[in-house]
Amino acid sequence: MLEAGQIILGVYALLLILGGIMGKLKAGSTVSLIAGSLSGLAALFALRTSLNDPAQGFLIGGMLAVLLTGVFLSRLIRTRKVMPAGIVLVLSAVVAISLFVLREKLVVPM
């Protein structure tokens, strides 16, 4: 359970950073590069935090994913382009739900 959340955070961080790089390479978007890198670093921070305090790390990662879900929902509505907005929207929503479910199991053991 604990390792699953940390793997989710690590993969999410990697995908955010790679997404920013792809935005720069394909569209020449420096904003994508910066936003993807900062978001990926925030996910890595959540991962690092989860090594010592899993509940806190999963909370930070979940809140980041909720924030990015909102950003990419707005972008999808505005642009109506599934790539990348729809993909990152779904990914972020799945990450947020997964991390909050895992955190709940840590905070309130069954």
Which of 108, 107, 15, 16 lies closest to 58 in space, CA to CA? 107
Looking at per-residue pLDDT, the higher value among 2 and 42 belongs to: 42
109 pLDDT more than 70 = no
- The token pair at 64 is 């980041």
- The token pair at 103 is 């955190």
pLDDT at residue number 2: 78
Which of 1, 24, 23 lies closest to 87 in space, CA to CA? 23
pLDDT digits (tens, 9 = 90+) for 72-105: 999 999 999 998 999 999 999 999 999 999 999 9
pLDDT at residue number 16: 98
Which of 96, 90, 46 lies closest to 67 in space, CA to CA? 96
**40 touches 13 (CB < 8 A):** yes
Q: How far apart are CA 50 and CA 86, in angstroms?
A: 28
pLDDT band at 107 (very low <50, low <70, confident <90, very high): confident
**9 touches 62 (CB < 8 A):** no
20 pLDDT more than 70 = yes
pLDDT digits (tens, 9 = 90+) for 28-57: 999 999 999 999 999 999 999 999 999 999
User: Which of helix, strand or coil describes residue 81?
Assistant: coil
